[in-house]
Amino acid sequence: MMRMLFARALWASSVLAVTVLIAGWAAAQAKSESSHTGDHEPVSALERKFFAALRAGDSDAILSYIPDSGVNVGSSPQHVSRDEIERQLRFHHGLYCKLFDSSCIDTPIQLDNVQRACSYRELLTHSEKAHTAASEVTRGGVQQAVLVARIENKQCPNDKLIDFIFNLGADGWKLFSIP
């Protein structure tokens, strides 16, 4: 009788141990699989945070999206290093003006054009209409997010469509190009 009770106790503890091991293994597998699929910030959240940073004039938040390798800037893209972008943001010139402060944008004087250039911040905060959207695509094996703002503003001659392209890296979404 004692032997039978001991055998049942041993069997029950073995079943419990195997169950715990299987449950632990399954949880580890699920965690491993989720880290490989969709473990990045959704583009809708990126859109909300990025455009909020532009509207708020938060240069530190924008700088956090600049990769160490730099970013392409302008309609005829020129690669600009992260250090140079950080300088421009800190000392309020160049890209800082284009993003946040219309008053310091360098534009050639055009006698036939009475409109002034506007920063993206001004376009997003002082326009009759400003709509934003985001989409996620894969190009050449690289996962990208395209954030777009469509602007209606009669005071500014700027492009009425502004698009920012981000690449997904190991450390999250990083800017690839700024218009």
CA 149 to CA 160: how far, in whole Å? Answer: 8
Q: What would the two tokens of residue 146 be?
A: 């395209």
**Residue at 16 is within a domain:** no
Q: What would the two tokens of residue 155 be?
A: 């005071």
The pTM score is 0.74
Neighbouring-strand partners of residue 173: 168
Counted domains in the chain: 1
**Residue at 102 is within a domain:** yes
CA 59 to CA 92: how far, in whole Å? Answer: 10
Indicate the burial class of 150 (C-beta count within 10 angstroms; 0-12, 13-18, 19 or more): middle
Structural domain that includes position 93: 43-178
**Residue at 70 is within a domain:** yes
Neighbouring-strand partners of residue 168: 173
**Which CATH number is 60's domain given?**
3.10.450
Per-residue pLDDT tens listing for the chain (179 residues) = 434 333 343 333 333 333 333 333 333 333 333 333 457 899 999 999 999 999 999 999 999 999 999 999 998 889 999 999 999 999 999 999 999 999 999 866 555 555 678 999 999 999 889 999 999 999 999 999 999 999 988 888 766 899 999 999 999 999 999 99
